[in-house]
């Protein structure tokens, strides 16, 4: 028996305001967050890499400066050396050529630094964001996952963060290069010919209006496309996870049609996106070409009127070429911005969903648990507009008592047990563990003292030992083997090709249903908690395995609080108390013999199963 209970205080932050799950709020989730708050959050990911960021920006400055210097070098050669009748023309040309080669070398080194270290900075930020989002996923409650598609959540942690990282790297660099290059080119062009420069820059306001119009359309199209690719991921994940069911019902064609529908919706969203993208980039590219043609035509006219010489026109054309490149960078930045900011919005939509189950402000650490569980007028419903699954239920379970919950499907047996570890929050009433409201203790300490074997067994990809060790991560090999023996799993494990080191495949597909169930039971044996919940834990076992596990279950239940949910009444004959649930609450309770003698609900259930 575990010793008397005590609690140690553990400070915890105030629970944040709850938000509706994403599925209920759609794409507008998180829209209530102030833009300033999101802006600070956006910039915060630069903080750990400020040194690398400034080095990247310094290299971008050098690249911009060298880009502007090269046309000036060409102008110096054409005007000062070739047009100045210098006696050392070849020497001066060679010298200037060497200087230009040095500039190109520095330009190349800086570009390489930007390409490698800049991208690595973006990749590190992407890694940070993925870690943060994954950690947040771990905090969200069952009610959130009840309404989400795994494929959509995977898209947000992979695709969205990738494009956001691209924006983090290329965004500042493109802005700096564009501003410096455009400003420097403008100054050079004005010095060569003011009138021609003003004509060229008249194109910019028109380009801006055009870009803003189609940029808005592109943003909506990209958002729709990201949502649709999430749907495709969800469809693929769902179909592949249930591939055995698909094949057993020969419904491959049906799954093809479901996927085709999702794929068609994605194709439609991409068509809208590509159309907007074509108008956006094609139009801006046309404006860039118009600028070049304008320079050639008006520059030629200026030469005819002797207001511009050929050397200046050559320099002018080189500068215009330089000017067009940052315009293209700006166009690319617009696309990158839309991809990245859309990804950031979707990223924040998840991050801004507060877990609806959090530690209270003065939550305490639960230690030395005995296992007394009490339900006091507990009611629960999954959603506000749903009817109560459990209503005004009161039940006391003594420390160390072995209690079985039975009843027809849908009366709330599994729900009741899910409320004890706070997988869901009660709608009314309270649940006590050793006399303490479970809402006043930390979730971690509460769940650490409760072991659960669920009806729907989940095993992770990896070895047999890895899956058993999940019950106690620092367990030794001897402890793992001992737990397996208690669950009557040791013999079948040793018959596997590599014993405890056998890879069981995704979700344990290489094991039978009974074998998977016994591994999940072994995990709880290894955890060795004072409160144990078996949710129809023997439902997948054959008669021989069921008896073996039943013996070990009763051994584990000795002096421990044990709740067993069972449809097979034969498995709970030895329970100290059987609680029969109905839609109105507790219909009757007592030992197996007492309930049979009562000739009520339990006796009817027992007689029905005896006839099968």
243: domain CATH number? Answer: 1.20.1560.10
Same domain assignment for residues 368 and 498: yes
- Whether residue 2 is contained in a domain is answered as no
Same domain assignment for residues 390 and 304: no
Same domain assignment for residues 468 and 431: yes
pLDDT at 238 over 80: no
Q: Mean pLDDT throughout 588-604?
A: 90
pLDDT number for residue 437: 92
The strands making up 390-397's β-sheet, listed across from edge to edge, are 390-397, 373-380, 428-433, 436-437
The tens digit of pLDDT for each residue in 163-182 reads 888 888 888 888 888 888 88
Of 142-151, 225-234, 524-533, 535-544, least confident by mean pLDDT is 535-544
Last residue of a domain, one of 301, 316, 351: 351
Q: Mean pLDDT throughout 536-555?
A: 67
Same domain assignment for residues 323 and 407: no
Q: Name the band, by pLDDT with cuts 50, 70 and 90, for residue 578.
A: very high
Same domain assignment for residues 315 and 388: no
Q: Residue ranges of the alpha helices (H) in 464-542?
A: 464-469, 477-486, 490-494, 513-527
Q: Mean pLDDT throughout 231-245?
A: 72
pLDDT number for residue 17: 35
pLDDT number for residue 170: 84
Same domain assignment for residues 85 and 201: yes
Between 400 and 211, residue with greater pLDDT: 400
The tens digit of pLDDT for each residue in 353-399 reads 888 888 888 888 888 889 899 999 999 988 887 888 888 999 999 99
pLDDT at 478 over 60: yes
Q: Name the band, by pLDDT with cuts 50, 70 and 90, for residue 9.
A: very low
Q: Mean pLDDT throughout 311-336?
A: 76
Same domain assignment for residues 333 and 372: no
% of the chain exceeding 70 in pLDDT:
88
Q: Residue ranges of the alpha helices (H) in 362-474?
A: 413-419, 443-448, 464-469
To the question of pTM greater than 0.85 for the whole model, the response is no
Number of domains in the chain: 2
- Whether residue 356 is contained in a domain is answered as no
- Whether residue 316 is contained in a domain is answered as yes
- Whether residue 357 is contained in a domain is answered as no
Q: Mean pLDDT throughout 563-581?
A: 85
> What kind and span of H or E run contains 579?
strand 577-582
Tokens of 13: 């932050």
> What whole-number distance in Å separates Cα of residue 569 and Cα of residue 45?
57
pLDDT number for residue 398: 92
Same domain assignment for residues 322 and 385: no
Q: Mean pLDDT throughout 271-290?
A: 80
Same domain assignment for residues 522 and 403: yes
Same domain assignment for residues 227 and 160: yes
- Whether residue 565 is contained in a domain is answered as yes
> What whole-number distance in Å separates Cα of residue 33 and Cα of residue 352?
8
Using an 8 Å Cβ cutoff, are 184 and 68 in contact?
yes
pLDDT at 48 over 90: yes
Using an 8 Å Cβ cutoff, are 406 and 414 in contact?
no
Output the domain CATH number for residue 520: 3.40.50.300
Q: Mean pLDDT throughout 262-273?
A: 80
Mean pLDDT over the full length of the chain: 81
pLDDT at 335 over 60: yes
> What whole-number distance in Å separates Cα of residue 496 and Cα of residue 519?
13
- Whether residue 395 is contained in a domain is answered as yes
Same domain assignment for residues 407 and 463: yes
pLDDT at 273 over 60: yes
> What whole-number distance in Å separates Cα of residue 108 and Cα of residue 121?
19
The tens digit of pLDDT for each residue in 411-435 reads 888 888 889 999 889 999 999 999 9
pLDDT at 86 over 70: no
What is the β-pairing status of strands 402-406 and 428-433?
Answer: unpaired
CB atoms within 10 A of CB 515: 22
Same domain assignment for residues 141 and 215: yes
pLDDT number for residue 432: 94
Q: Domain range spanning residue 126?
A: 22-351
């Amino acid at each position: 028996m575990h010793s008397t209970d005590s609690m140690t205080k553990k400070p915890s932050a105030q629970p944040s305001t709850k938000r509706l799950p994403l599925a209920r709020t759609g794409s507008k989730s998180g829209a209530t967050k102030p833009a300033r708050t999101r802006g600070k959050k956006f910039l915060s990911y630069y903080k750990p890499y400020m040194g690398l960021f400034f080095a990247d920006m310094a290299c971008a400055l050098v690249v911009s400066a060298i880009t502007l210097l090269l046309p000036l070098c060409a102008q110096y050669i054409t005007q000062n050396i070739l047009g100045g009748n210098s006696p050392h023309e070849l020497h001066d040309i060679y010298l200037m050529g060497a200087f230009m080669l040095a500039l190109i070398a520095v330009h190349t080194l800086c570009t390489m630094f930007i390409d490698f270290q800049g991208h690595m900075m973006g990749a590190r930020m992407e890694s940070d964001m993925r870690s943060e989002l994954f950690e947040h996923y771990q905090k969200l409650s069952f009610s959130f996952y009840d309404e989400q598609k795994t494929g959509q959540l995977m898209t947000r942690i992979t695709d969205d963060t990738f494009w956001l990282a691209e924006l983090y790297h290329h965004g500042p660099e493109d802005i700096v290069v564009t501003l410096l290059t455009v400003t420097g080119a403008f100054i050079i062009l004005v010095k060569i010919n003011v009138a021609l420069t003003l004509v060229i820059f008249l194109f910019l306001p028109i380009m801006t209006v055009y870009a803003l119009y189609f940029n808005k359309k592109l943003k909506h199209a990209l958002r729709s496309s990201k949502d649709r690719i999430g749907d495709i991921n969800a469809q693929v994940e769902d179909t592949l996870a249930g591939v055995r069911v698909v094949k057993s019902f020969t419904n491959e064609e049906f799954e093809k049609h479901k996927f085709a529908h999702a794929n068609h919706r994605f194709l439609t969203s991409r068509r809208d996106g590509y159309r907007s993208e074509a108008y956006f980039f094609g139009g801006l590219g046309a404006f860039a070409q118009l600028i070049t043609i304008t320079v050639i035509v008006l520059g030629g006219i200026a030469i005819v009127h002797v207001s511009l010489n050929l050397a200046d026109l050559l320099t002018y054309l080189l500068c215009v070429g330089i000017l067009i490149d940052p315009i293209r960078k700006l166009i690319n930045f617009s696309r990158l911005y839309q991809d990245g900011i859309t990804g950031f919005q979707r990223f924040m939509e998840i991050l801004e969903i507060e877990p609806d189950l959090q530690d209270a402000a003065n939550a305490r650490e639960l230690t030395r648990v005995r296992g007394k569980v009490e339900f006091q007028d507990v009611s629960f419903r999954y959603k506000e507009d749903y009817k109560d699954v459990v209503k005004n239920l009161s039940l006391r379970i003594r420390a160390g008592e072995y209690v079985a919950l039975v009843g027809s499907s849908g009366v709330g047996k599994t729900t009741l047990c899910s409320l004890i570890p706070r997988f869901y929050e009660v709608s009314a009433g309270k649940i006590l563990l050793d006399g303490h409201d479970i809402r006043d203790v930390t979730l971690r300490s509460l769940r650490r003292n409760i072991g659960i074997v669920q009806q729907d067994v989940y095993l992770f990809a990896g070895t047999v030992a890895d899956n058993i060790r999940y019950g106690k991560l620092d367990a030794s090999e001897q402890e793992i083997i001992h737990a397996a023996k208690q669950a009557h799993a040791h013999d079948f494990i040793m018959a596997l090709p590599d014993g405890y080191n056998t890879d069981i495949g995704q979700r344990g597909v290489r094991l039978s249903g009974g074998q998977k169930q016994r591994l999940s039971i072994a995990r709880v044996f290894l955890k060795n908690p004072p409160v144990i919940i078996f949710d129809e834990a023997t439902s997948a076992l054959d008669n021989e395995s069921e008896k073996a596990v039943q013996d070990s279950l009763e051994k584990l239940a000795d002096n421990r609080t044990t709740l067993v949910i069972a449809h097979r009444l034969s498995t709970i004959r030895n329970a100290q108390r059987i609680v029969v649930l109905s839609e109105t609450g507790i219909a009757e309770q007592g030992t197996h013999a007492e309930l049979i003698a009562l000739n009520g609900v339990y006796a009817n259930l027992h007689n029905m199963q005896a006839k099968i």
